Each structure stands twice: as structure tokens, then as C-alpha cells.
Structure 1
């Protein structure tokens, strides 16, 4: 078979069939169940079902509302009013009964040592009344006295009522000598990750970060994750400040885990027919599709198909593919409002002619250029 016949056969047969198979998105095949009203359809990508959505102003407005609702819900669940510290199991209490030194068990000199680095001094015996695992202390005359869940003033009043049966008008000073019952854990891009004890100073998000030495330059302030009771909340500090919400109003609870994500984990990947494929770091958690294409040099005019721009995103267990026809008027204005998420992949498909040329070049290396040269020298 002559060379020209082979080229014509591949171009008209199996090659075109393969190109038609990826007309919906790279590596996808359109399925039934598309909705022309919403611009959504279902496709199969590498054996995984994916939802395909067209990027339109309506879709952008819907996603923006979803983001706003999620942010407001998270902030609403985390903002609280600080209250007095409640005594818990493991705390060490300093109790002074004035005029009765035999009832006093306290060492003021050891307070700082007990509060700072208590984990590293487990062998030291704290002087004071230790609240046991059932939330009670043993006090002379009274015996077992439950105090867990009470603040210092309520605990003092309870102790006074019990002790006045044995002492007339007792004058009592009660305070927490060492805070050991409630802690939060700060991890990630902070100077000193680790446990932070909740004290009489309200443990807010900013207090916890400051105690951990502050954020490192590699920290992504827009992706601070707070885990509480099986739920996870994303905190965007720049966004909160922009909206006039004070991050110090976010009150932490015992058992909370705060993780500051690294900027390296907040990247968007640009591939396909762009001038300079790369991974782009998001700026304070924000990067639009237009900015991503611009920073990668734009769509390659020689090989890129501007009508097939895709954003591939994993949402939970679901794969979502957003499509944009950049040839349409106003398409880049729409792209400027479409916000990307961390780990998104932006892919620009090649033109059918580019795919055809590459396939021929792989099947017959140098055959296409030889055929063109032969045709050019034909008399």
C-alpha cells in the first residue's frame, strides 16, 4: 500500500473514531442522562462515573452561594462566648483555709512548673488537691467532694458550705494550681506543634496559634482545619478578616485538633495544550481559572483547542469535570469568576488536527514529514 493511502486510511478510520471518543472530555465518554437545563451530564472517565458541568454565570453564582453557606455555617458552629474555667479530672487545686494551716495543702512555688511542661514532669508529685478520674477530691473532715464541672467560685462556695459544719465562718481561697484536664492539639505549619493546655485564659484559635509560636512562612492561612467530635471545619483567616469577623472569636474546646496546612498542599495543576504546564500555588486560598491559564502562558495557539478547556475536581468520592468553551464571547470574563480549589487539574485539549498529527507520528515516525516533502517535490 502506498504511503499516501496509509495516511488517508488512518485519518479517515480508527484515528477519527478515537478522537470522537474524547469529544466530551479527556479520557471520558458521554452517557445518557444529560440535563440541558442545568448544563450537566454524566460521563465515564477511566471506569469512574463523573458529572460534567458547563461553566456558566449561573453555575458560578450557585457555587459561590454554596461556599458562602459552608463558611457561615462553620463560623457559626465555632464562634462562642468565653466563660469561666470549669474544673476537670487531673487538675490540681490550691485550697487555703485561712486560720487553719493544717487544712492547707499547697506549694505556691511549684505553680509555674506544674503549668509549663507538665507532660515532661509526670514523675513529679504535685502539691495540692488533685481531682481524680471521677472528678472529686479528698478533703479533711469532708471526705470525698465532687468538683468536676464547677468553676472556681462555685467550687469554693460548695466547699465552704460543707466545711462550715465543722468550722465557724470559714474563709477559703480556692484556685486551679495546675491545668491538666483540658487540652487542644496544634499541628502543621506552626513553630512549635504540640499539646496546649486550656487555662483560665480563653482558648481561642488565635491564642492556640500564638502559644504554638505562630504560623510559619510556609503556612496557608486560608486552609486551617479544625477537627471536633468527628466533624472537620475549614477556617480561612484572610476571608474572615475581609468580612469583618474577628478570628479571636473562634473558641476552641477540649480535644480539638487544629492543623495548619502547607502552601505546598494548596496547588492547582495546569496541563495539556498551554504554553507552560506547571503547578501553581494558590494565593490565600484563591485562584481563578483565568489567572491559572494566564500564569501558564495561555492556551497554545498552535495546538490547543480553546473550545475544550476542562477543570477536573474530586468532590468527596465524586469526580466532577467542568467544561468551558473559551472561543465564546465573554468566556474569559466567566473564567475570571470561576474559583479553583486546591488539587484541581486544569486541562486544555489538543485540536483534532494536532491529535491526528501526533498519532501518525507515533505510528510511522517521520512518515508524515516524508509524505509532505515528497508531495512538495512532485513536478
Structure 2
């Protein structure tokens, strides 16, 4: 047996050439091939329903994910903004018709009592009138109470009561607005849109902005655009409402010949075509347009509709296939909607794998030629 080192190197080079030609499947890949995915279908004993997308499947796979305020919020009545509540701040002005009044300084007839806080029991303290219950009263009702109390001690007092901004009837706004904070419910800000405007407006892209209202332990959401388009959703606000303005948090995952990344939704209703456009389109050198897969878990109701069955009671794994080379492929890609947590996988074109084999083979041949050149016979 010839054990010369040069002979051994030449034989190894020859084996590498054959291995590169015959074992292309062992080369690096972006993921499984179209045929390998199809081999795992339920039709072949697997646990994934592989469904080719057509018009019927596009409609059957639709799932109602629309946002909207609850009927309780939409049908709620407008709050009475001029009632005084615990936590409110009041301004009280008293005019007296005598030179030496009860409240005014010497030579003055007007007394201004600013920032009188309504305590947690709903009461205020008014000099010479004592403690008065203000909670649930309008400024006019409280004015009459103070006037009657002072009238016994100073002739014909004139009283003015104004309700200032306070925490008693207020809402909290956080998130994507110009100025987050706590805002009083006033006559001009009784509705949701006016309160958002009071907080500086929405600073997020309108295509993906959502408005969330938390009231009494329940939460409802709506798309900003729907709020603008439908006046009925411009709900009246309540004290202690918590308003959150946030961007759409849905994402999908891209794998395969498009690269690997988690991608946020840029628009509300995102189709396969628009998702691919967000990824920069298909790479003509590597992507297989016949093998675009959308992987997702379908609830039983959707799974039954898509498969034309009625016996499915548990969530099912689905792999929807879009073939862009078919005459209707582009239209189907435009109509089939992506959902939150979907995975888009674009298979690699057969030619791309062949090209990898070819590159590996050329590299091996060049290595063998180098061995032949640098070693003596």
C-alpha cells in the first residue's frame, strides 16, 4: 500500500471533490426545502396542515381581530363637569358692603380666598361659615350656602365660587401624547378626542396608534383612525379614567431566504405582499417564489372552516403556501392577511443550493490543483 504523504493528499482532494458533488444537502442552508416541509404534512403522517392559499382559503382563514370600545363605554352618559368633588380646588371671592367687614382687611371690601381644598370627606372650611359639605354640589349651590351663612354676620354679602382644576374629576393620560399627565374633566374636555387634544395630541404614526381606556377594572381599545372616523366612539369621560396611547405591538417573524428577524406591523391590516415589501422583497438570487409559507396556530373555529370540517376542537398547526408564480399569486398575496405572531418562511430556490454545491466543488478542485502544483511527483 502506498503511504507516501503526497499520494495521500491527492486522494483526499479527489474524495473532497466527490463529496462536494454528491453531498450538497450537507451544505449550509437557510432552512428546510419545500419538499422537506411537505413531507411533514398531515397527509404524510405529520402534524402540520399544509394548505395552498386560494380565494376560499383567504376568506375562511380570516379572524375577527377588530378593536372597539365596549357598549358600556359607548353608551355611557356625559359626566356633569361642574359638580364639586373631593380633591377639587376652589376659589371663593366675597364682597362686603361695610368698611370693616368680617373677612376683608381695613379699607378693603373684597376678600379672595384662593386654593381652598375639598378634603376627602367632601368638606371645606370657610371662615365665619364653618365646615360646609361641598362634595356633590355645584359652584352655584355652594355659593348660596356660603351667602346664607355669612348673611347672618355681615349685611348682604356677595359671593362667587369657582371650581379650579383638581383631582376630583380628572383623568390620566400616558403614552404617545404630547404631554402626559393628570387632566381635569372640564366642559371643553368632556369627550375623549378633546382630552387627547388637551394633552398635546397623538405623536405616534396614525396607521398604528391605538387608544386604550381603563375604567373600573375593565379595559377597551380602539384604533386611532376608527376614533376619528366614527363620532360614536368619541366617548364621554369619567373621573379616574386611565387613557393609554400606544403603538401597535404586533409582530411577525421572518425566516429563510429573506433573512431572520422579528418585524413590527407597519399598518393595521398587513397582507403577505406588504409583509414581503417590509422585508425588502424577495431576493431573486436565493428566494423560491413558489414556496412562501405562513406558519401559525389556528383556533378550532378557523381550522374547521379552512379544512371544511366540524370535528376539530383543539388549536391546529397550519402552514399556508403562497405561490407567486401562479397567475393569481400576487392577488392572493395581497389579500391573505398576516396575524400577530405569524412566521413567514421563504424557501431557498433549488438553483441557490446548486450554486453552493458548485462553489464548494470549485473550491475543492482549486485546492487539489494547488496540492498538485506544490508537491513533487
- TM-score, normalised to structure 2, is 0.60
Alpha carbons of structure 1 residues 13 and 347: separation in structure 2 relative to 1, 3 Å? closer
| 1:6 matches 2:19 | yes
SS of match in other structure, 1:335:
helix
Separation in 2 of the partners of 1:75 and 1:176?
32
User: What per-residue deviation string (whole Å, max 9, x for no partner) do you get for residues 316-344 of structure 1?
Assistant: xx998662332555333232123345776
The residue number in structure 2 matching 1:339 is: 337
The answer to whether the 8 Å contact 2:206/2:225 transfers is: no
Q: May I ask how many residue pairs the two structures share in their alignment?
A: 324
Alpha carbons of structure 1 residues 162 and 196: separation in structure 2 relative to 1, 3 Å? same
SS of match in other structure, 1:66:
coil
Separation in 2 of the partners of 1:278 and 1:202?
39
Question: Runs of 5+ in structure 1 lacking a partner?
Answer: 44-50, 111-125, 375-379
The answer to whether the 8 Å contact 1:163/1:170 transfers is: no
Alpha carbons of structure 1 residues 273 and 254: separation in structure 2 relative to 1, 3 Å? same
The answer to whether the 8 Å contact 1:266/1:282 transfers is: no
Quote the offset at 1:132 in angstroms.
0.6
User: What per-residue deviation string (whole Å, max 9, x for no partner) do you get for residues 247-276 of structure 1?
Assistant: 77233333344344459x77767554359x
| Alignment root-mean-square deviation, CA | 5.4
The answer to whether the 8 Å contact 2:293/2:322 transfers is: no
SS of match in other structure, 1:367:
helix
Quote the offset at 1:10 in angstroms.
3.0
Quote the offset at 1:152 in angstroms.
4.2
The residue number in structure 2 matching 1:208 is: 195
Alpha carbons of structure 1 residues 225 and 232: separation in structure 2 relative to 1, 3 Å? farther
Quote the offset at 1:186 in angstroms.
3.0
The residue number in structure 2 matching 1:290 is: 273
Quote the offset at 1:129 in angstroms.
3.9
| 1:273 matches 2:267 | no
Separation in 2 of the partners of 1:137 and 1:22?
79
The residue number in structure 2 matching 1:120 is: none
Separation in 2 of the partners of 1:274 and 1:267?
16
Q: 1:245-264 counterparts in 2 under 5 A?
A: 245-246=230-231, 249-261=234-246
Separation in 2 of the partners of 1:12 and 1:128?
80
- 1:226 pairs with one of 203, 207, 212: 212
SS of match in other structure, 1:334:
helix
Separation in 1 of the partners of 2:190 and 2:238?
8
The answer to whether the 8 Å contact 1:97/1:170 transfers is: yes
Separation in 2 of the partners of 1:173 and 1:80?
32
User: What per-residue deviation string (whole Å, max 9, x for no partner) do you get for residues 224-249 of structure 1?
Assistant: 232414544433232344xx412772
Greater Cα radius of gyration, structure 1 or 2: 2
Question: Runs of 5+ in structure 2 lacking a partner?
Answer: 1-11, 105-109, 299-314, 369-377
The residue number in structure 1 matching 2:361 is: 367
The residue number in structure 1 matching 2:107 is: none
User: What per-residue deviation string (whole Å, max 9, x for no partner) do you get for residues 293-325 of structure 1?
Assistant: 34656434443233432346799xx99866233
Quote the offset at 1:349 in angstroms.
1.9
Alpha carbons of structure 1 residues 340 and 21: separation in structure 2 relative to 1, 3 Å? closer
Quote the offset at 1:91 in angstroms.
0.7
Separation in 1 of the partners of 2:50 and 2:73?
33
The residue number in structure 1 matching 2:177 is: 190
- TM-score, normalised to structure 1, is 0.60
- 1:90 pairs with one of 83, 87, 91: 87
